[in-house]
Amino acid sequence: MFEGSPALMTDMYEYTMLDAALRDGTAQRKCVFEVFTRHLPAGRRYGVVAGTGRILDALEDFHLGEADLKFLADRKIVSPETLKWLEDFRFTGSIKGYREGEMYFPDSPILEVEGTFGECTLLETLLLSILNYDSAIAAAASRMSSAAGDRPCMDMGGRRANEWAAVAAARAAVVGGFQGTANLLAAQLYGLKAIGTSAHCFTLVHDSERDAFASQIRAMGTNTTLLVDTYDIKEAIKTAVDVAGPELGCVRIDSGDLAALAQQTRNQLDSLGAKDTKITVTNDLDEYALAALQAAPVDSYGVGTMLVTGSGAPTCAMVYKLTEREGKDGEMIPVAKKSEDKATVPGRKLAFRSYEYGLANGEHVISGSEQKLAGYRPQDGWKDLMVSYMDHGEANKKYQGHDAITAAHDHHAKALAELPITAQSLMKGDPSIPTSIDVL
């Protein structure tokens, strides 16, 4: 997607730790790291996992070229011996975690990374930057698409974010329930539906609104979407139907009292015989605005700023912590932080969701050694939430590419429907189901 190696999408201390660990011999110790969050954004009822497909894509290119190695050498970030170790570096560990599109809650083991300390520590910033942003956008998209009901939401946030974040946001939005994007690079890279026709400047550059509409119809056909709020909406709609005929595909409203204007527009279109012409609205929408528009005769929405900023929660506070490591004797040892308010749960994890009458009623995290977890048997009806993303450096292609995004979109819809109805409330509240942690 850009010039530069994902292997330098790190904080410097990851390389300095690697350098020191190679010197003292601990770099080769087997380790298990875990990505989780201690809390959801204030008042949110659930989170949505997104970005795992992008992680697998990035790990394919997670190696250092000559220019990257020279940079590390010139800055004296690592020793010559470490530079030699890095020359042929590829991640050869294993990754499992919650599937993309799945709901997560506080203390859910969203991702578990297993390998040597040296290779696992280099992944921290990359994994967290992808998961924190993509999951924040997917959660916002989920709340918005839920509030919109059966009316499709489209991503129009590209101009409100960093240019590369905009591409990631478009992908994450589809995972969270959106149907398409205005961002062409995202559409190209991920096979997403692309949408868009014209802006106000197209109307303004013509001598009249009629000339602009006629030009667009000639270029795009009558099924296009005409922007009708540049001047006077009533006159614009009259002109639009006059130029395109009753077969006009759609009109877009981008300002004003959207509910009132949508009702007025629907009535006017119907009176002109354009009963099948659809109405789409834009203009700084969020989940609350979408919920308020439920009674309005709107057919679809375009969402920008509030989508790509996570609707007020642009990150998920996910962290990457060591939970198990190899000791001097070769045995694996559970480890944990005991810091005040930042304590962690030792050991590798299993995760399940329990149900009653078809609705989820609990998240169950089981922690322990590999041997103890291998013998653990969940209760009947519990769903295993973990999938294998990578096995000894080999990515599971099932979770990459366009089909994986479509599968994540569908899985998200199913998982949301299985949560208690309170999960879809826009009012602040506790996580929709509790999480229990059992240490074996």
Tens of pLDDT, residues 170-186: 999 999 999 999 999 99
pLDDT higher than 70, residue 2: no
- Report, as an integer, the average pLDDT of 378-387: 97
pTM (2 d.p.): 0.96
| pLDDT above 90 for 7 | yes
- Percentage of the chain exceeding pLDDT 70: 99
Average pLDDT, the chain: 97
| Average pLDDT value for residue range 135-142 | 98
Cα gap 126→137, rounded to integer Å = 17
* Dihedral, CA of residue 146, residue 290, residue 311 and residue 364, to nearest 10: -20
pLDDT at 1 (0 to 100)? 47
Task: Report how far residue 289's alpha carbon sits from residue 313's, in angstroms, rounded to the nearest whole number.
Answer: 17
Please enumerate in sequence order all residues whose Cβ is within 8 A of that of 288, keeping only pairs 6 or more positions apart, or say none.
Answer: 147, 426
Task: Parse the chain into domains and list their residue ranges.
Answer: 6-137+313-439, 197-298
Q: CATH topology for 6-137+313-439?
A: nicotinate phosphoribosyltransferase (3.20.140)
* pLDDT band with cut points at 50, 70 and 90 for residue 3: low
CA 160 from centre of chain: 16
CA–CA dist 152, 187 (Å, integer): 17
129-163 as b/e: b if 16+ CB within 10 A:
bbbbbbbbbbbbbbbbbbbbeebbbbbbbbebbee
pLDDT confidence bin for 341, thresholds 50/70/90 = confident
Q: What is the pLDDT of residues 266-278, one digit of tens each?
A: 999 999 999 999 9
What would the mean pLDDT of 85-94 be, rounded to a whole number? 96
Q: What is the mean pLDDT of residues 354-379?
A: 96
Judge whether residue 92 has pLDDT over 70: yes
- Do the domains 6-137+313-439 and 197-298 sit in the same CATH topology, yes or no? no
CATH homologous superfamily, domain 197-298: Aldolase class I (3.20.20.70)
Condensed to tens digits (0 to 9), the pLDDT of residues 153-172 reads 999 999 999 999 999 999 99
Compute the half-sphere exposure of residue 118: CA atoms within 13 Å on the CB side of its CA.
21
Both tokens assigned to 100: 């993309």
Residue 214: pLDDT over 50 = yes
Q: What is the mean pLDDT of residues 253-258?
A: 97
